[in-house]
Structure 1
Amino acid sequence: MFNVLCMEFKRLFRSRMVWILCAASLVVALLLCVMVVDNVSYGRRDDPEAKIGLEAVAAVKEAYRPLYGAVTPEKLESAFETYINTSNAYEEKMPASVYKEKIVPIQPALSWIFSAFDDSEITSADEVGGFYAQRLRNIENQLADKYANAPQAKQAALALNSRVETPFNYAYGYGDTSPDIIVLLLLVLGLFCTAMAAPVFSADYHSRADDIQRCTRYGRGRLGAARSLAVLILVLAIAVVSMGVYLIILNSIFGWEGLSSSLQTAFVAWGIAPMNVGDMVRMTFFAGILTLLATASCSLFVSSRCKSPTTALIISFCVTLLPVFLGFAGVNVKWLYALLPSGGTAIENSFYYALTLNSLEFLHLGSFTLWLPYAYILFAAVEIPLFILLTILSHKKREAY
């Protein structure tokens, strides 16, 4: 079996397309790093002294430093009072210099306040002192609207929220700006992995090389298993290297201390995921790998059923992009996204968003309740061996024509 696996690796790396896709995945990761850094700005657009890129990262980090540490009611009250006093001092547009000096350093605190209070009107800075109580009321109100007929989902959400540590902890980092670009990286990697996996079996069916392979001692079951395993190992390596390079570069630029921030300070204050930004990054990394492996496994199964590599590619790309198409069409069936092998890369319905901005989403059926991020991980972990088994059986039982 090991010898067959080694031969399949040699066969994969003889393909120029495999080398191109491996190099392209690394290039895309580097380009997205540049995109994230370029999106950082310090100051308003009409400010001639506004900074962007690496200069902005250093300036923003220094400006936000007074907010580092525990997010206390006192810090929030002070930030909101500064905001009100500065806003009331100008009847028209606030000068860019004043905005940069007074408002920019408290922007994170303002986003936490407005997120927790949502549409509730804040009449005084004293009300901001009840930040954590208001955050809980906001969560309860959203759950009451979302799960009026599913009390078990509401209870599960409140139980998960009870594990969130308060007061929140904050430090500027990668989570403060464009962290959702990793979803785009996973989508591109999914397409690359699909392009590598789709022709693996169908190309030999098309060239009739499979007829000869079946006459050999290990040309059926073992060959199918070795070929599938070789592709999955290659996909795993591409995913680890590309995402690893992406995350290491960005966290080195923005500062590793940002990983200690509470997840609620990087996204929405009413998020119920009991973790910090570092935990989110690790879970997204792990779930991304599972999603890519599940996507590749599905493509292998399609390849084992198709006589033409072109047909296998078209069907595999359609399956990979189906969650994205469904999202653009406005289909919001969470069960469907969780069950699709590439559902974890479905942009707004991805695992990343289920963990951060959509953390109140639960799958519920009768008394059964499952938090959506857990569902993505569970279903992907089940689909990988399932599709590989189906691929091996399909290849083994295929008759020569």
Structure 2
Amino acid sequence: MCEFGNILKYEYLKLFHRKIIWITLGIMMILSVVIVFVSDVGFDSEEPGIVQYIRKNKQEEMEIVGEKVDDRMLEKYRDKECAQGLWYFLNCLFPSDYICEVTEEKLYQQRQELLQNNMEEARLTKGEKAYWKQKEAGIEKPFTYGYTAGERKLTAVFYTLAMMQVIFIAVTVPSIFADEHFRKMDQLNLCSKYGKGRLYGAKITAGMTIGIGGTLCLILSSVIPILILYGFHGLDVRIQLIYAACSHHFTIGQVISSQIILLIFASVLESAFAMFCAEKMKSGMGTMAVMTGGLLLSLTINIPDQFRMIVQLWNSIPSNILAVWNLLDCRLILQFGRYFTQLQVLPIVYVILAVLLAAGGWRGYKRYQITK
């Protein structure tokens, strides 16, 4: 165990001495902070700055926290400037110029129609529709209003964090295996006194932990400014208040926790994939090209809904699933006679795939022979 610790320490030292890791992490963390403010740039307000605008809006919204979203609230707080969170919720269901005519009956009827349309477009089976009908019946209506500005920001930010995570891992992790081939150090490493097994284990551990560490830094870079500016006052509010088109029995806090967990598990899978490719191709640049190319494909390809299985698989890849509309998708997974959501299945799938990639990489690593 002591020998493994020394090898692992050596792998960390090699990583931490690479300037590109710190430069990439620094840029990604700065971008994580910047994207928090992007949607407030160019706001229309009499306040002299963004911070003052946020504080003013927060004070106005906190006055109606805990009230029901019913006819009385809709009549009293129709103005976007008076209740931005309420306007955001209504705008998810109605065009902006129609909001002033919304009533409680129209609001919840429109939401039911949206849910029904989503199920039809997703081509759900009768069993899936019955599952969501049962879930919907357990959601209390009318909804209770809560101040969710910070939570709205954070749930949206995770989609961008997932992309930056791929870039960070593509830049930093492949070098763990590729550099020893590129620098012709494999002749020394592969004749290690303690064998290839411990060396491979140390490399895999270093790669996965550096991926997790970078992911946590990205998350904190967004969470901290949001916490300071907005606070997290609506973690116990139903998710329907910021994403109306779902029947999940989640609070906003539970959804954010799920996004954090998925992002961490995704970092493990992506790190395993990066190291597998780096060892197979003996190239860090090649691995970076594969991962960034895959990221670009995930952003550009839009698969029609009639190809349900392909859509469900495509939305399950790490760079897509963190988008809240994919995370809370109504398509279910039938296993052992029961329906499961993607949130219940994907963390397990990611771990299994990471283990398989690590095992596949080990098979090639232990058989690798230096020919020149």
Amino acid at match of 2:332: F
Q: Establish whether residue 181 from structure 1 lines up as the match of residue 157 from structure 2.
A: yes
Give, as a single letter, the amino acid of the residue that structure 1 aligns with 2:272. S
Describe the SS at the equivalent of 2:160: helix
Residues 312-352 of structure 1 show CA distances to partners (whole Å, capped at 9, x for unaligned) of 33233334x1xx41441322567557657982223xx5453
Q: In structure 1, the residue corresponding to 2:233 is in which secondary structure?
A: helix
SS at match of 1:31: helix
Separation in structure 2 between the aligned mates of residue 298 and residue 340 of structure 1, nearest angstrom: 17
- State the AA in 2 paired with 1:197: V
Letter of the 2:245 counterpart: W
Correspondence 1:170-319 to 2 at 5 A: 170-177=146-153, 179-267=155-243, 269-319=244-294
Closer, same or farther: CA 42–63 of 1 in aligned 2, 3 Å: farther
Is this contact kept in 1: 2:332–2:341, CA < 8 A? yes
Q: Distance in 1 between matches of 2:245 and 2:253?
A: 18
- Residues 105 and 355 of structure 1: is their aligned pair in 2 closer, same or farther, counting only changes over 3 Å? farther
Counterpart contact for 1:201–1:304, Cα < 8 Å:
yes
Paired AA for residue 190 in structure 2: R
Structure 1: state its 5+ residue gaps.
44-48, 84-101
Alpha-carbon distance in structure 2 between the residues aligned to 1:326 and 1:244: 25
Asked if 2 retains the 8 angstrom alpha-carbon contact of 1:138 and 1:270, the reply is: yes
**1:397 has 2:367 as partner:** yes
Please name the residue that 1:379 is paired with: 349
In the TM superposition, what is the alpha-carbon distance from 1:236 to its structure 2 partner? 1.0
Would the alpha carbon gap of residues 375 and 39 (structure 1) be closer, same or farther in structure 2, given more than 3 Å must change? Answer: farther
TM-aligned CA distance change 1:77 to 1:340, over 3 Å:
closer
Rounded Cα–Cα distance in structure 1 between residues aligned with 2:159 and 2:198: 35
Whether the aligned pair in 1 keeps the contact of 2:258 and 2:343 (CA below 8 Å) is no
Instruction: Quote the offset at 1:239 in angstroms.
Output: 1.1
Letter in 2 for 1:56: Y
Does residue 75 (structure 1) correspond to residue 72 (structure 2)? The answer is yes
For residue 328 of structure 1, what is the aligned residue in structure 2?
300
Residue identity over aligned pairs, in percent, reads 14
- Equivalents in 2 of 1:35, 1:10: separation in Å? 36
Structure 2: gaps spanning 5 or more residues: none
Residue pair 2:154, 2:223 contacting (<8 A) in 1 also: no
1:29 aligns with 32
Amino acid at match of 2:61: Y
Alpha-carbon distance in 2 for matches of 1:366, 1:145: 26
Cα distance in structure 1, aligned partners of 2:308 and 2:166:
20
Is 2:108 the counterpart of 1:105? Answer: no
What SS does structure 2 have at the residue aligned with 1:236?
Answer: helix
Task: Specify which structure has the bigger relative contact order, considering alpha-carbon pairs within 8 angstroms and separated by 6 or more residues.
Answer: 2
Q: Which residue of 2 aligns with 1:344?
A: 318
Task: Give CA-to-partner distance per residue, 1:65-117, whole Å, 9 cap, x none.
Answer: 343114242434424xx75xxxxxxxxxxxxxxxxxx4422454355456557
CA-CA distance at 1:52 after TM superposition = 5.3
Is contact 1:334-1:363 (8 Å) kept? no
- Residue type of the alignment partner of 2:7: V
- The CA deviation string for residues 27-74 of structure 1, in whole angstroms up to 9 with x for no partner, is 2222223435x348354xxxxx36652121112122323431142424
Aligned with 2:166: secondary structure?
A: helix
Aligned residues: 364
Match of 1:361 in 2: 331
Out of 224-233 and 138-147, give the one that drifted further: 138-147
> For the residues of structure 1 that align with 2:200 and 2:163, how far apart are their CA atoms?
27
CA distance in 2 between partners of 1:341 and 1:294 (Å)? 16
What SS is found at the alignment partner of 1:62?
helix
The residue that corresponds to 1:41 in the other structure is 43
Q: Is the 8 A contact 1:25 1:238 kept in 2?
A: no
Partner SS for 1:291: helix
How far, CA to CA, are the matches of 1:176 and 1:280 in structure 2? Answer: 11
CA 1:275–1:203: 2 relative to 1, 3 Å: same
**Contact 1:77/1:129 (8 A) holds in 2:** no
